[in-house]
Each structure stands twice: as C-alpha cells, then as structure tokens.
Amino acid sequence: MKYELKLEQLNTYKLIEKALVFINENRKSRPNLDEISNHVNLSSYHFQKLFTEWAGISPKKYLQLLHFQAAKHILRKGDNSLFEVTDEIGLSSSGRLHDLFIKIIGMSPDEYKHGGKNLQIKYMNYSSLFGEVFIASTPKGICKIEFETEGVSSLDKLKFNFPNATFIHEFEAIHQKVLDIISNKNSQNIEQLKVHLKASPFKIQVWESLLNIPFGQVSTYGQIAKQIGNEGSSRAVGTAIGSNPVAYLIPCHRVIRANGELGGYMWGPDKKLSILNWEFCQLNK
C-alpha cells in the first residue's frame, strides 16, 4: 500500500542528505561528481541516478546552478529568493509553484484545557522525500507533522500534549494529501487543506504569515515580524516559528537569519538544508 514505510526511499534520502551536507561544507572547493559519490560510497553512475530521481535534475546541473558562492549571496540578500538569484547569475529557471490553500484552525479552549478529552487523533509514520515523517490528524484537520529524529518519539510527544485524547494508528486520506504536497504532486488543484492546532493567537498569526512565503523562496525573522506589524518582536517571532507543530506544510524551513545563515530548525539544520535545496531544484527543472 502506498502509505506504508518504504525503507528504500528512507535510505535514499539519508544518502542524499549526506551528499548535500558534504557539498555545503566543502562549497569553497566545489567538489565534483566523483568526489561526492565517493563520500557516500556509491559509484558516480548510481549516485547520479538516485540524485536525479530525488531532485528532478542531474547532480551536474545542480552543481552548475548552485555555485555555492551565489547561493550564499542569495541568502545574504534576505528578501531575494533562490529563484530570483538564478536570474541574476544568468541561469534559466521555470517556476513550479504550489497553488496551496492552507487554513489554520485554532483548537477550542475545551480541547486543550482538558488535554484533548473527546478528541480523536489518527496517526501513522510514512516515508517521504525527506525521511520518515509522522502525520496525525483530528476530524477537523492535520494536527501534527514531524520528521522523526532520535530521542522521544513523535507519538509520545503528542500524547504528552493531549493526554486525554483517543489515539488510533490508522491511515487517513488527508495524510496522503500531505505526502503529495511534500513530494510536489497533485498540488495545482488541491482543495483547501485545514490544520487544527493548539496555539496562542500570536503564534497562529506568525504561522499564517509563513504561508505567504512562496515555494522555493526565503524570508527572515525580522521580515516576518515586520509583516505581522511587530518589527521589534523578532525574538518572539523566532520562538513561535521554532514551535511550529506542522513541518513543511507551514514552511518554517523558509525562514533564515538576516546574516544569511540558515538558523535553527526543529528537525535539524541538515534537514532544513536538504528541503531548501530540493525546492531550489524543483524551480530549475
């Protein structure tokens, strides 16, 4: 069944992430295909095949596009996107932007005051382009998307937040919609997707502002603060972004520091780097 965990896909992602981190760490020397392939213990042919299937473009084209000095320039400019800078350095790009309509629904006071009493939550773990992902939903919408990391399981963390909820290990059609969005499939005509979250009005305001960052582009914490009318609240904005319970769908990975550094990410900087790089590739197919 298509929603089962696929170990081959998860292992492929681990290799790709390792390669992307290697490229980033060695960007000044601009490693070639053989050097990258050797780092992940694959032949150049096999690595090229895996990378092309994952990214949609060949490693050679990716390396030509990226020119990491230009990539650093992109991030330093803050309000420019990866897409815009490809134009600046004379590269052609074809936009492939999502046409998504995400609506955030705040949980009622009773739903979180009583630890999720009378709330039914269905969850499963899935394989994705970015590794294993935990997806959970209530009858009102998605309540959790989390990339699995070492340590406390996503389910245990969710149970801590909603100790009185009923948890059911079961596939839901809305979970598949999330997976399709993550893989850039079936996104052009998608119906409105709702997320059902426990949060303060301020956090919801910040998360809603993240939805305005287009696919493949980046913003800064300061720009988000300005957008919501609180220019002096970059630190509070950063805290709200860091507590985003819905990975990828609410794109906190598209927020960076004003100095061009990637900044923090709940699921690790390597994950953030790989997602941003993948989106860059989609815009340059």
- Do the beta carbons of residue 137 and residue 143 sit within 8 Å? yes
The C-alpha angle 109, 111, 114, rounded to 5 degrees, equals 95
Strands 120-128 and 131-138: antiparallel
Place of tokens 């000044």: 28
Rg for the chain, CA atoms, rounded: 19
- SS3 of residue 272 by DSSP: helix
- Write down the catalytic residue from 252, 255, 256, 275: 252
- SS3 of residue 93 by DSSP: coil
Secondary structure letter of residue 108 according to DSSP: P
Q: Indicate if the alpha-carbon torsion angle 97, 208, 70, 66 is positive or negative.
A: negative
Q: Is 281 labeled as catalytic in the residue annotation?
A: no
Q: Which residues are catalytic?
A: 252
